[in-house]
Structure 1
Amino acid sequence: MKTYSEAELTAQPIGYWTGAAYRAVVGRIRAELAVEQLTQPHWWILNHVAGAPGRWERGGLTERLTPFDDQGTDFAAVFDDLEGRGWVVRAGDGSLTLSEVGEQGRLRARERNMRAHEEMHKGITPQEYAATLTILRRVIDNLGGDSDLP
């Protein structure tokens, strides 16, 4: 990676760089998930259901995840897909759990994402990463956005 002076870097537009980082990071994550024929909303659902079996139902989980969606996702179709695959099971009361095959698929996708995250963090110390997030949160807060952790 080429190095630049502090003056050159501070003259750069943060909007460009945060957008470029977003496209690179999310593009990589989406590519890894696609190997399992999953989208990010599939991934979010699988992880929420795995983390709290029987706690979530479709409506509540859709409400929880919609603020993170930037693709206009039809969550009903994603739930239908996961249930159709037999990965998510809906009980009579509407609560959701993962099947064994669903958990196996989630773990495969998790492993792929972990490798991608390791690659993303290469050459970055935990302190640098935390400082970067703190700065981005400050920018968001300065502009009146929600800087709390999800």
Structure 2
Amino acid sequence: METRPMQPPARQPLGFWTVRAGEAIGRRTRSALADLGVTQPEWWVLHQLSLHPAGVGRTDVVDTIGPNDTPAVIAEAIASAERNGWLVADGGSIRATASGAEVFARCAALQAELQAERMRGITEAELATTITVLQRTIENVGSDAWHW
């Protein structure tokens, strides 16, 4: 981290730090997943499929994880996962293949490592407070957000 003097945290812009945190986390996550040959949107799709082993509607997956990026990006991730043999489509429903479940397991282990890395020196209570403050900030400016 930059070591030049800064204003006290309470005088710094919330928007600046939330954007910088999101960018840093995204870069680190995308880079680590790329080492496994998976894009972040493909990971999101595989994660949703892991929650629905009997299958889930393609539209449901796009609707659920679309806010993470754009519906078009999620639709492409579904198509890519299908091309990679990680999922199969049956009508409007999709489900993970054995290969997809294996890729998901490797990525899930990586995500656990990344979460431990992010949480170094941060308590669960501090994380909960941070999330609550960000949610309230979003509401305070007249917007809303949802995460599954």
TM-score when normalising by structure 2: 0.85
C-alpha contact (below 8 Å) 1:41/1:73 kept by paired residues: no
TM-superposed deviation, 1:142:
0.5
User: Residue 73 of structure 1: CA displacement?
Assistant: 4.2
Identify the residue that residue 117 of structure 1 maps to in structure 2: 115
- Kept in 1, the 8 Å contact 2:55–2:96? The answer is no
Deviations 1:122-146 (A, max 9, x none): 0111111111111111111101122
The answer on whether the counterparts of 1:41 and 1:78 sit within 8 Å (CA) in structure 2 is yes
Contact in 2 for aligned 1:42/1:82 (Cα 8 Å): yes
Equivalent-residue separation in structure 2 for 1:112 and 1:64 (angstroms): 22
1:46 aligns with 2:68: no
For the residues of structure 2 that align with 1:60 and 1:147, how far apart are their CA atoms? 18
SS of the aligned residue for 1:90 comes to: strand
Instruction: Give distance in 2, aligned partners of 1:29 and 1:117.
Output: 10
> Does 2:52 align with 1:57?
no
Which residue of the partner structure matches residue 86 of structure 2? 87
Amino acid at match of 1:21: A
Q: Secondary structure at the match of 2:22?
A: helix
One-letter amino acid matched to 2:85: G
Distance 1:66 1:84, change over 3 A: same
Q: Deviations over 1:44-95 (max 9, x none)?
A: 111111101344232332233222215x74444322221122110112x332
Q: Which runs of 5+ in 2 are unaligned?
A: none
> Is 1:16 equivalent to 2:16 in the alignment?
yes
Q: What does residue range 103-114 of structure 1 map to in structure 2 within 5 Å? A: 103-114=101-112
Larger mean Cα displacement after TM superposition, 119-128 or 80-89: 80-89
Moved more, 108-117 or 32-41: 32-41
CA–CA distance in 1 between the matches of 2:31 and 2:22? 14
Q: SS state of the match for residue 8, structure 2?
A: helix
Structure 1 spans left out of the alignment, 5+ residues: none
Would you say the 8 A contact 2:55–2:94 is kept in 1? yes
Q: How big is the alpha-carbon RMSD for the aligned residues of Structure 1 and Structure 2?
A: 2.3
